[in-house]
A and B are shown apart, each in its own frame.
Chain A
Amino acid sequence: MSDREAILARVRAAIADVPAAEAPEFDPDRAEPDARYARTGELDPAARLALFVERSGDYRAEVTVCAEDPAAVAAAVAAACSRHAARRLVVPAGLDPAWLPPGVEPVADDPPLAPAGLGACDGVLSGCELAIAVTGTVVLAGGGPAQGRRAVTLLPDLHICVVRGPQIVETVPEAVARLAAPIAARGAITLISGPSATSDIELKRVEGVHGPRRLELIVTDPSL
């Protein structure tokens, strides 16, 4: 008997007590009241955006809010670049070229850059798939517009990420619901909440270990 058959046989023997008719999965839509957690948020778009800005800032991402207008984004990108003395930015396919300020040299990932080449760039400028207000999280979907492949947003030491206001959802469940489509397309998903960090040495938090050590978020506010 193969290990596969042996394991499955042991599993079946072990759970022989379970009634065959029992539903094999938890269904949040039919949960008993004691398991009915909040799946949708309650905030209006302005409050949602404000919460995202506050929460992502808690993780020491640098957050800039600007108008929903490419020129305003470009100005914010320019400011972020000057804060970090960055000039050459990797730019994934699908990124709005109007987000690029003068003086920044875009480096296309086409043909795909070698890891050393990516690491040698000053930073990466990307969009995102969505963002989660409650947790201050940015979600990237590999292959999605302006998001590129995973290595592009991992190896440069500075990640500038543009979050458009309407991309912000309030809760984690709302975010997971919107991941079904990119996952079905086999896109790799990366959830980013602040720059990388470790507390491994005496529990002292150190920002920036292996991922980009600096995360700049540019949040566009449609009401501005």
Chain B
Amino acid sequence: MTPSGGFPVAAREAVADSQLRANLRGATHAIRDKRAAAVAEVADWQELREAGRLIKERAMRHLDRHLEALEAAVVAAGGQVHWAGDAAAANRIVGDLVAATGSTEVVKVKSLATDEIGLNEALAARGIDALETDLAELINQLAGDTSSHILVPAIHRNRAEIRELFLRELPDPGELDETPGALAEAARRYLRERFLRAEVAVSGANFGVAETGTVGVVESEGNGRMCTTLPRTLITVMGIEKVLPRLTDLEVMLQLLPRSATAERMNPYTSLWTGVTPGDGPQEFHLVLLDAGRTNALRDEVGRQALHCIRCSACLNVCPVYERTGGHAYGSVYPGPIGAILTPQLADLDQGATLPWASSLCGACYEVCPVKIDIPTVLVHLRGKVIRREAGGGGAEDAAERLSMKAAAAAFATPRRYRLAQRVVLPVLRLLTGVPGLARIVPGPLAAWTSVRELPEPPRETFSDWWRGRS
């Protein structure tokens, strides 16, 4: 999945693509400003964030009991629960479940977990056609692209490109102009027929409530309602970290997520179902609980907070590195700041080892995160882990130099910007312990750059000047 060369190479290519950069910049800034307004309206936002953090922390710190409770509640409500240790197991389980229905096509709701495990490809290998029904996912699927943003995955395409794509790929696009309304209408017509005939749907889950067995999907377009309502069989693939202990936890998450994600007071549709309801909706419900590396992340007392993520994508939209590189450069379905701490941990540092350097440690991600994940601290912590590991044979400084120069040069245009950013991260140094000399080198790109190459000039402008000057 990681492009050859990892983040550095992919980032350099993306930074060079000016159309992509323009789209990303426009999009991330628009969402960012709207989010700030939606959040400013909530007087108790900081208390909600703290409650959200505590809810997720408790959920992870007692994950075994919550998973067992969730399983028991789903089964009691007429659903079935499957456990998948890795991607291959999850794909096999879902494939077998679909095959058992005799169906050769499924409709899908956007799901990062199923992207992560490569479910569509695995189903295709068994002759099962998985149709993405989220508009942006449909666009990407028709174009043979991968997602560039968690929440608006086709942010890298403009309307003219989408129109051309629809004219080429949809069976009966009719007269199609390039207004977003006409393009959405074409997708509606195409998908409606597929929703009505589908016998199996596959979804992800935004949360599963252990107390009641209730599973939820938060969305805008109605494709989630279609998929979780019309087909006879519903298969939901849920990462084990999505469990919420209590129903009351929803009262916090349903406030934090929509405002952080789409800057709405509430997203248009949220579907919550509990097992099987006789006579209403799918009569067979399967919940597939996916580990696939989550327990690796859970082992790390600092890093485990990456599992608290509710996938709102607010941290992407404020990230200066993401704004320049886009999502593809991260070589993972989880891009941006959260991807930089989640991807390497899911892979036990065997993949994405340069990702912890894909950051200037400016801290904007932490400020916006609705569940207060301290991404900068985790980034620094992971840099230390990677360096300790790489240093196995050679010196830690060599390892830091190698990794950081690769990753760093790519994301920002000039080393000067790094030096400016560096001032902000110095306090983070205090967090570092363990390897001799590490405290000096761990801020990675920044320190390695300066300590090996040159001493930083006293910055002419402060970081915040620079930050403001950018927008």
Chain B associates with chain A: yes
Please give, as numbers and ranges, the residues of chain B lying within 8 Å of A115 by CB-CB distance. Answer: 196, 230
Please give, as numbers and ranges, the residues of chain B lying within 8 Å of A24 by CB-CB distance. Answer: 58, 61-62, 65-66, 245
Are B298 and A191 in contact, CB atoms less than 8 angstroms apart?
Answer: no
Are B265 and A211 in contact, CB atoms less than 8 angstroms apart?
Answer: no
Q: Say how far A64's CB is from chain B's closest CB, in angstroms.
A: 20
Are A176 and B251 in contact, CB atoms less than 8 angstroms apart?
Answer: yes
How many B residues touch the partner, as a band?
35 or more
Q: A11-B298, A209-B187 are in contact. Are A190 and B254 (CB under 8 A)?
A: no
Residues from 31 to 50 in B contacting A, C-beta threshold 8 Å: 31, 43-44, 46-48, 50
Q: Say how far B267's CB is from chain A's closest CB, in angstroms.
A: 7
Chain A residue with minimal CB distance to B62? Answer: A24
Chain A residue with minimal CB distance to B43? Answer: A38
Are B61 and A192 in contact, CB atoms less than 8 angstroms apart?
Answer: no
Are B250 and A176 in contact, CB atoms less than 8 angstroms apart?
Answer: yes
Question: Roughly how many angstroms separate A38 CA and B44 CA in the complex, as a whole number?
Answer: 7
Q: Say how far B93's CB is from chain A's closest CB, in angstroms.
A: 9
Are B67 and A11 in contact, CB atoms less than 8 angstroms apart?
Answer: yes
Interface locus among B5-13, B216-224, B331-339: B216-224
Interface locus among B274-282, B353-361, B448-456: B274-282
Are B47 and A190 in contact, CB atoms less than 8 angstroms apart?
Answer: no
Are B62 and A22 in contact, CB atoms less than 8 angstroms apart?
Answer: yes
Are A201 and B183 in contact, CB atoms less than 8 angstroms apart?
Answer: yes
Are A3 and B85 in contact, CB atoms less than 8 angstroms apart?
Answer: yes
Q: Say how far B132's CB is from chain A's closest CB, in angstroms.
A: 12
Are B85 and A7 in contact, CB atoms less than 8 angstroms apart?
Answer: yes
Are B245 and A25 in contact, CB atoms less than 8 angstroms apart?
Answer: yes
Question: Roughly how many angstroms separate A105 CA and B98 CA in the complex, as a whole number?
Answer: 40
Q: Is B30 an interface residue when CB atoms closer than 8 A count as contact?
A: yes
Are A151 and B220 in contact, CB atoms less than 8 angstroms apart?
Answer: no
Inter-chain contact total with CB atoms closer than 8 Å: 269
Q: Is A194 an interface residue when CB atoms closer than 8 A count as contact?
A: yes
Question: Roughly how many angstroms separate A112 CA and B31 CA in the complex, as a whole number?
Answer: 42
Please give, as numbers and ranges, the residues of chain A lying within 8 Å of B31 by CB-CB distance. Answer: 203
Interface locus among A71-79, A80-88, A131-139: A131-139
Residues from 90 to 138 in B contacting A, C-beta threshold 8 Å: 133-136
18 residue pairs bridging A and B, Cβ less than 8 Å apart: A12-B64, A14-B299, A26-B58, A36-B47, A115-B196, A135-B258, A172-B254, A176-B251, A177-B248, A177-B251, A180-B212, A187-B277, A196-B269, A201-B183, A206-B180, A206-B181, A209-B135, A211-B269
Extra contacts besides A6-B85, A201-B135 (19): CB < 8 Å:
A4-B83, A8-B67, A11-B298, A37-B255, A58-B265, A175-B251, A176-B254, A183-B214, A186-B78, A188-B273, A188-B274, A188-B281, A189-B271, A193-B267, A193-B268, A197-B220, A200-B139, A201-B162, A211-B268
Instruction: State the A residues within 8 Å of B (CB).
Output: 2-4, 6-8, 10-15, 17-18, 22-26, 28, 31-32, 34-39, 55, 58-59, 112, 115-116, 119, 132, 134-137, 142-143, 149-151, 154, 172-173, 175-177, 179-180, 183-184, 186-204, 206, 208-211
